[in-house]
Amino acid sequence: QFGFFRGGTALRKNIPYDGRFTFVRMNYTTAPGGFFYGGQPAWAHGYPLAEQNLMAIMNEVTYLAPHIEEINSLRFDDPELARYPIVYVIEPDWWMMTDSEAEALGGYLQRGGFVIVDDFKGRNFRGGGGWDVFESHVRRAVPDARFVDLDVSHPIFHSFFDIQSLKI
């Protein structure tokens, strides 16, 4: 896929799968009002610089040897998604999901795929937002999904960094 955002910023061409870790940013239909930064859709917030910076850090602190400059962008119903174990969604409150994307997301998660979701602020910027949209999408994809709040005692918060507080 190759194209342009409304503002003319280029959508980078995906690299073919080669077995190396490749950051995959999910792109989605953006809800009305979710375009910013020269017409870019909400899902493109920080693209591709944010993931290039993260992959450079991952290259320094792990033996992952990820692709650093090459960033892929897929939709949830793209068959290529099955090749990638971890994907990233940003600005979920502007995310609109089709039935085929919901079905594909459900299959991806049930096969062990991992989705990182970030930046729940959009429509209700100062008061937060996005959780309701995100939760409704996950429930469409995996109707039996159960959301569980974790507190700071959970081991995940002490695995790489030792996080003592979840307050911002």
First to last CA, the chain: 38
Residues 38-75 pLDDT 10s: 788 989 988 999 999 999 999 999 999 999 999 999 99
Quick: pLDDT tens for 69-108: 999 999 999 999 999 999 999 999 899 999 999 999 999 9
Q: Is the dihedral of CA 125, 117, 57, 154 positive or negative?
A: positive
Would the pLDDT of 125 be above 70? no
* Nearest 10 degrees: Cα torsion 165, 26, 100, 35: 100
Give residue 2's pLDDT.
Answer: 45
φ, ψ of residue 99 to 5 degrees: the values are -60, -40
Q: Give the list of residues 6+ apart from residue 120 with CB closer than 8 angstroms, or none.
A: 92, 93, 128, 129, 130, 131, 134
Instruction: Please check whether residue 117 is in contact with residue 76, taking contact to mean a CB–CB distance below 8 angstroms.
Output: no
